[in-house]
Chain A
Amino acid sequence: MITTVRWTVLLLALGFCRGLKHNYIDDYEVVEVEEDWDLVFQPSEHGSLWPLPQKVQISDVSFKLMSSSFRIVDAKQSSAGPSCSLLQDAYRRYYEYMFGSAKRQQLYKSRRTGPTELTELQVWITSPDSECDGYPSVTSVESYELSVDQPFAVLKAPTVWGALHGLETFSQLVYEDEYGTKSINSTQINDFPRFAHRGILLDTSRHFLPVKVILANLETMAMNKINVFHWHIVDDPSFPYLSRTFPQLSRQGAYHPYTHVYTPADVKMVIEWARLRGIRVIPEFDTPGHTQSWGKGQADLLTPCYSGAKPSGTFGPVNPILNTTYDFMKLFFGEISTVFPDAYVHLGGDEVDFTCWKSNPDIQKFMEQQGFGDDYSKLESFYIQKLLEIVTATKKGYMIWQEVFDNGVKLKSDTVVHVWIGGGSNDEMSRVTAAGYTTILSAPWYLDYISYAQDWQKYYKVEPLNFNGTEAQKKLVIGGEACLWGEYVDATNLTPRLWPRASAVAERLWSAKDVTDINDAFNRLSMHRCRMVDRGIPAEPLFSSFCPREYKGI
């Protein structure tokens, strides 16, 4: 309320400025701030759980957790044992989240074990193959069952991927009472994701993101049960990917050949760090547009643009008429298919500008030969078609931005079409799924667009299946992605801009369709944000409030 009042005053003041003929406010957006301002924090019956599990029963019976005695262990029957370093690593990580660093543990050492103490969480992987040493995939089983009760808590999951989510949930159930004692209530949870693909796109071309920043955000993705890191690794402004086959691409095309590149070791580290948190890494190498930086290190890859009868010295999209282009792509994507273990690679294909192609006489001749007339989208299709064949030969599936589908390129039936144009409910989803393609939605979740006030609510209220289509069509929607494009984002502001706004998307993609209570979401998300802050992540506030332990990383 009070804030609303102040806004009124501000607007009056701005009114004066208008009167004084200054146009600096002409594109001023006084965004839709009025709605839903008065959310007042109250504890939720679901505590701080985020995203909300599918089935939760929390009782009033509580147990104490002592850092000195509490252990997370493998259940005897588990198919994963001490050799599963993925789980051992996760046990330690979650123990530290729950009990903090060694310093704080000292406090509890002297206390005796009481009757209402919970001393153990047993983790039981039920499938014969725990997938401990594998990579998560779109078909991974991520479900888990968690039972917190005496004499010990049990986390049952078919695979390690579900177990990782269950550990996160368990850590979210732990709370601190007024004396600083950690407690957990007797709880039964049965949980699984609504959508299999829950992703975040980060753009490392418009601004370079140090590896440390990527790792910290992978860590935060795991806290939100996000399971795909869509790595938009290269684009027009820079080419930070250091290719073994074509090292000159980053040597010439990165902002700096040493300080602003991802070496093979960096990429490996990111992939392994993500795997240990159940996150897939899908790299995007966008062509034929968005490739200015490629041209610097790979002569003749891009189309020379003409001004009149002469080359103008500038370059357009990838040159689709040269055999050398496809030789290059074969070698390049051959490398990518071995470096990135995920079954999918994102091939981009968005926003191809035809003016340069049109200006080039060789391309005009080629168009004639091929009988394309003046339809340059046919040329684009020609290119993409050949590229898809190349990538198919590397045994990878592919994702593409929606334009490729819109332009009628022939796609393999398992292609994933990435919808980014339009709002939350959009016809494109109907069209893509009617054509039988698997799809993921990003259109309503461009988090690089920011506005005043609580825009997380806007992301939260999106219903991904809110389009005209049959049940079968809706099953083709495998999930969505929040996109944080890099024009205005780098290491300085990425993390607070992403969190907790992306958390809203995370719950929409994980929790049941009917989880839509915005007040309850506000209450849980407020606490979830403070938990992220407590874990060292600078997640920005939702509204005037405080966290018991504020961000200290200044």
Chain B
Amino acid sequence: MLEDLLGSQNLEAVFGPHAVEGVWPLPQAFTSSPERYPVNSQDFYFVYGRQSAAQQGCSVLDTAFKRYFSLIFPDHNSGSPADRLSWTIYLVPFCVPDNLSISAGKASLNAETVWGAVRGLETFSQLVYQDDFGSYFVNKTEIDDFPRFQFRGILLDTSRHFLPVQAILKTLDAMAYSKFNVFHWHIVDDPSFPYQSSTFPDLSSKGAFHPMTHIYTQSDVRRVISYARLWGIRVLPEFDSPGHTTSWGKGQPGLLTPCYKGGTPSGTFGPVNPALPSTYRFMARLFKEVSSVFPDSYVHLGGDEVDFHCWRSNPDVRVFMQKMGFGGDFTKLEAFYIENIVNITSALNKTSIVWQDVFDYHERVSTPQQIWDLQVVKAGLRVILASPWYLDQPGPTHNWARYYTVWPLAFKGSEEQKKLVIGGEVCMWGEYVDATNLTPRLWPRASAVAERLWSDEKQTSSVDKAFPRLQDFRCKLLRRGIQAEPLYVGHCKHEYQGI
């Protein structure tokens, strides 16, 4: 319908002269006129519409109003000129598809849910601009908007380097500015286990880099989740097993497979031991805790890169293989393990997500898959695309275009198959990333991915058209205190003021 609306019209004509100061990611349908209205911070209010299902007391919107007021008026404390026309703008969330309309004296925002309203507020905040005298203006605008993909995620890895909670919260802010809605928390891995479990406190007291300073307490986790919720962001925890679990073994003896050299244990450990019933009892209790701590209906079970050498070396595992009739096929053992874990999480009413490897080994596991693979779609599983968006690799920032020009549905397949691609994810693995360089490495490159996942592909296929808009958006991020690195030579009116 929206495509019809835009038809073959020249997009520049639709966007008008303020295209550069426009919105990132690009809304699905957008019309603005040169007619502009002054906005005065002294006389600006967010108001719930009378028909709105949400009213004062709705924590998400009350918080969003507060947050967006200071984002819209970054220097409202300094006071605006007194002789400005006063103008009141009403934002009215109520039950129709998300749209934003700004006309003389009043702006209204209609959204089906508070989550749509939060996105709409972000859009509105990006439409307000300051002239050379510091006065705020907004142009007459009509926007109809919705995301192309429902899953728009960012993965942070808090195991290879510990990220202070502050760094996570800051990332959540920036995610909301780009309309991301999933924080994939790769919380534990081989190097460290910073999640402080209430059921198994030894996991972090022995497996974290430091048991006091490099952990996430239950209240840290709750804080991250509720902070994310207020931005309309889901928190998807990943507890990756059976591989990538070296740090688990420190606090949970007997969990990992003892590797053998010759006829004797070598003292090193491999993946989780799938041959012991105690393993599944442990996992059941851990995931019971995880499923109550993390409210999201999905949980990520990892399942990637399982190395079979250690399993193969262990005589008990081999006996178990015999007993189960797996022969010498260790992928069957892995599939057995994953199936058990998936059963555990299903019993907890959670939907599982796994990395692509699991599918490759075993097709019966019916869970959404990550990473992009034609076969996966053929098999009728839902998929999330991540492979083109490994942003932990640095590189001249101009490679943002490489992330921008990824076409997630350009594979051979039926419409039905394409519907199974529910979104994509930016991965920021932690080998070379910690709080010192996370933010500039993530932004604004992740914003390029955000537009790909949110906006209409036809309207956003040109890198040249996107470049000035992204430059402008990057300056907006700086103005909001996000340390987003430059795309190329140039400057922002308000440069980053930290070091």
Contact = CB atoms under 8 A, between A and B. Distances in A.
Interface of A: 2-3, 5-6, 9-10, 13-14, 16-17, 20-22, 24-25, 27-29, 206-208, 210, 212-213, 216-217, 237-238, 255-256, 259-260, 450-453, 486-493, 495-497, 533, 537-546, 548-554
24 contacts: A2-B244, A3-B431, A6-B305, A17-B387, A20-B374, A22-B410, A24-B405, A24-B406, A208-B495, A210-B497, A487-B489, A489-B485, A491-B498, A492-B484, A492-B485, A538-B436, A540-B434, A540-B436, A541-B434, A550-B434, A551-B164, A551-B434, A552-B164, A554-B435
Interface stretch (B118-126, B315-323, B389-397): B389-397
B396 A450 contact: yes
B237 to A, nearest CB: 20
A210 B495 contact: yes
Interface string B404-445: 011100110000000000000000011111111101110000
Contacts of B387: 10, 13-14, 16-17
Interface stretch (B35-43, B51-59, B208-216): B208-216
Q: How many B residues touch the partner, as a band? A: 35 or more
A25 B401 CA distance: 11
A256 B161 contact: no
Given A452-B393, A544-B191, A493 B305 contact: no
Contacts of B395: 29, 450-451
Main secondary structure of the interface of A (DSSP, over half): loop
Given A22-B406, A216-B499, A492-B486, A16 B374 contact: yes
B205 interface: no
Contacts of B356: 13
A297 B299 CA distance: 61
B490 interface: yes
A489 B397 CA distance: 9
B486 A207 contact: yes
A450 B441 CA distance: 12
B499 A551 contact: no
Contacts of A6: 304-305, 429
Contacts of B394: 450-452
A544 B395 CA distance: 19
A16 B444 CA distance: 26
A5 B307 contact: yes
Nearest to B243: A2
Interface of B: 160-162, 164, 166-167, 170, 190-192, 209-210, 213-214, 244, 304-305, 307, 356-357, 371-374, 387-388, 390, 393-398, 402-403, 405-407, 410-411, 429-437, 439-441, 478, 483-491, 493, 495-499
Contact of B372 (A3, A13, A238, A542): A13
Query: Which interface residue of B433, B434, B437 has the most chain A CB atoms within 10 A?
Result: B434
Given A213-B499, A554-B166, 13 more contacts: A13-B356, A22-B405, A24-B388, A24-B402, A208-B491, A451-B395, A488-B396, A493-B483, A540-B436, A541-B437, A550-B164, A552-B166, A554-B164
A543 B432 contact: yes
Given A545-B161, A551-B434, A553-B499, A17 B213 contact: no
Contact of A546 (B210, B433, B436): B210
A537 B498 CA distance: 11
Contacts of A545: 161, 191
Nearest to A490: B486
B491 A256 contact: yes
B304 A255 contact: no
B486 A237 contact: no
B436 A491 contact: no
A84 B488 CA distance: 44
Contacts of A207: 486, 489-491
Contacts of B210: 546, 548
Most buried by B among A217, A552, A554: A554
